[in-house]
Structure 1
Amino acid sequence: MNVEEEVERLKEEIKRLGNLQADGSYKVKFGVLFHDDKCANIFEALVGTLRAAKKRKALTYDGELLLQGVHDNVEITLKPPPVADP
């Protein structure tokens, strides 16, 4: 998988595991993603994929590097899709 494909897969997993917010975004805690069996099988380097997605401004979270255990409660927010102009 290339980076773009991995970021798209990550978005789908955040939607699956996260909670839909009123603004159309999804929120999920890092620990939920990290400990999910399906995510573990998809992503060889979850932290690297999260960083790539953050760099592409697809999602946000506090900090630069997330570590299992220490950052399990850090909330990851998948931004809502852009609204198309009429």
Structure 2
Amino acid sequence: MNVDHEISLLVEQIHRLGTRDNDGKIKVKFGVLFNDDQCANLFEAMVGTLKAAKRRKILTYDGELLLQGVHDNTEIVLLQE
């Protein structure tokens, strides 16, 4: 799969699992995304896809690298829908 396709799938999953905040942005915690069975089946390298989407300013999160367990409560914010 190409990166653009993986990012579009990731955006769909964030829509499915996330909630809209008062600013109208959709947010999801990394732990929710990482531990979801459907996401686990879709993405071989979710962290890499998240990094690519962040570089393209499609989403944002604190830090550079998200690790399971350590960053489960880190919010991923969708910047583009």
Task: Verify same fold: TM over 0.5.
Answer: yes
> Could you list the runs of 4 or more consecutive aligned residues of structure 1 that deviate by over 2 angstroms after TM superposition?
21-24
1:52 alignment partner in structure 2? 52
Q: TM-score, normalised by structure 1?
A: 0.89
Distance 1:35 1:25 in 2: 22
**1:24 shift after superposition:** 3.0
Aligned residues of 2:59 and 2:80 also touching (Cα < 8 A): no
1:26 alignment partner in structure 2? 26
**1:23 shift after superposition:** 3.2
* Percent of paired sites with the same residue: 68
Two-structure CA RMSD over aligned residues (Å): 1.0
Task: Name the amino acid aligned to 1:56.
Answer: R
Distance 1:13 1:20 in 2: 14
Structure 1 range deviating more: 21-30 or 49-58: 21-30
Q: TM-score, normalised by structure 2?
A: 0.95
Please list the CA deviations of residues 27-68 of structure 1 after superposition, one character each: whole Å capped at 9, or x if unmatched. Answer: 000000000000000000000000000000000000000000
- Structure 2, gaps ≥5 residues long: none
- Structure 1, gaps ≥5 residues long: 82-86
- Equivalenced residue count is 81
**1:26 shift after superposition:** 0.5
Distance 2:64 2:80 in 1: 21
